[in-house]
Amino acid sequence: MGNEFSLTTDDSRFTFTIADYLLILLSHFIIMNKIILITGATSGFGKAIAEKFAAAGWNCIITGRRAEKLHALATDLQSHYDIQVLPLVFDVQKRSEVFAALENLSEDWHNIDVLVNNAGLALGRDSFENANLDDWDTMIDTNVKGMMYVTKAVLPFMTKRKKGHIINMGSVAGKLVYKEGNGYCASKHAVDALSKAMRIDLLPHHIKVTAIHPGAAETEFSMVRFKGDESKAKQVYEGFTPLHAEDIADITFYCVNLPENVCINDLVVSCTAQADGIYIHK
């Protein structure tokens, strides 16, 4: 009985020892110290994921090419939540930039618990014979090679601790090919394949790998795909309610907060009006 006290004297469920309280306090600090690295945090899913985890007390490494947006988000998160934020500006396509940024992380940031490979884009919707070669290069370099570079640069921090969780942002376009989706669908099929490859190879290191494959979500995605053509971008989401970036942030948070022995490997998620990469009820 020594160090025991209770909130109500006649209910044993509410009896806590000082050790229990110390454990709760300790777990609070363990959560406070957790670190998530999110690529592509200047808009859309990445930004929503950063906001979700920051609100839960996670320290965040956020990345993207648009320095101004990235620094604005860092300032915003730090002013709202009692956390640390490290903004890193680099282009995931550029191998030297990726490794320079991540290999030179100060020791405080080495214990990355979660990596979200989210940076990515689609460019164009053209028939194979009309597709633009530069668009193909950019999609493959960003969605596939960029994801591989970032993962390779972060992995030493995880393998050293024999712990970590990698979340790869795939797409319904990585599960099924649709008309005029050639280069983008290929890049997301590669994300699907690489997620499976990572999951197998990283088993001995106790690293979880989750691939999330969203359907249509209204972010900057279609503005980028249609190169600033607002009416084409808007048309994509007309006649149905698409996913919101916050939906993907909530799902990511759920996947990350499962018990140590549980891993969601592969998760396809769409709005209720969408069946797959092709069928949307409008």
**Which of 51, 39, 123, 150 is closest to 89 using CA atoms?**
39
281 lies in the site for ligand NDP, by CB under 6 A: no
How far is residue 134's CA from residue 136's CA, in Å, rounded to a whole number?
5
Report how far apart, in Å, the C-alpha atoms of 249 and of each of 113, 118, 137, 160 are: 16, 11, 28, 28
46 lies in the site for ligand NDP, by CB under 6 A: yes
How far is residue 250's CA from residue 18's CA, in Å, rounded to a whole number?
34
Report how far apart, in Å, the C-alpha atoms of 61 and of each of 79, 106, 181 are: 16, 12, 32
Which partner in ligand 8X3, ligand NDP, none is near 45 (CB below 5 to 8 A by kind)?
A: ligand NDP
Indicate the residue among 142 and 182 with the shorter CB distance to ligand NDP: 142
59 lies in the site for ligand NDP, by CB under 6 A: no
Q: Which 3 state secondary structure label does DSSP give 56? A: coil
Q: Which one of 22, 28, 66, 80 is in contact with ligand NDP (CB under 6 A)?
A: 66
169 lies in the site for ligand NDP, by CB under 6 A: yes
b (16+ CB within 10 A) / e for 228-247: eeeeebeebbeeeebbbbeb
Sheet-wide strand order for 35-38: 85-89, 59-64, 35-38, 114-117, 164-169, 207-214, 266-269
Q: Which 3 state secondary structure label does DSSP give 74? A: helix
Shortest distance, position 129 Cβ to ligand NDP, whole Å: 24
- List contacts with ligand 8X3 (CB under 6 A): 171-173, 215-216, 277
119 lies in the site for ligand NDP, by CB under 6 A: yes
43 lies in the site for ligand NDP, by CB under 6 A: yes
118 lies in the site for ligand NDP, by CB under 6 A: yes
Indicate the residue among 93 and 252 with the shorter CB distance to ligand NDP: 93
Which partner in ligand NDP, ligand 8X3, none is near 77 (CB below 5 to 8 A by kind)?
A: none
Shortest distance, position 158 Cβ to ligand 8X3, whole Å: 27
Indicate the residue among 41 and 216 with the shorter CB distance to ligand 8X3: 216
Q: Please tell me which residue in 184, 237, 254, 279 is annotated as part of the active site.
A: 184
Beta carbons of 75 and 104 less than 8 angstroms apart: no
64 lies in the site for ligand NDP, by CB under 6 A: yes
Residue 126's contacts (CB-CB under 8 Å, 6 or more residues apart) are 132, 135, 180, 182
Q: Which residue is nearest to ligand 8X3 (CB)?
A: 171
- Told to judge if 21 belongs to the known catalytic residues of this protein, a careful annotator would answer no
Q: Which one of 59, 84, 151, 171 is in contact with ligand NDP (CB under 6 A)?
A: 171
What is the chain's percent helix, strand, coil content, to nearest 5?
Answer: 50, 15, 35
210 lies in the site for ligand NDP, by CB under 6 A: no
What phi, psi does 131 have (nearest 5°)?
-60, 150
What phi, psi does 73 have (nearest 5°)?
-65, -40
102 lies in the site for ligand NDP, by CB under 6 A: no
Task: Tell me which residues are annotated as active site.
Answer: 184
Contacting residues toward ligand NDP, per CB under 6 A: 39-46, 64-66, 91-93, 118-121, 142, 146, 169, 171, 214, 216-217, 219-221, 224
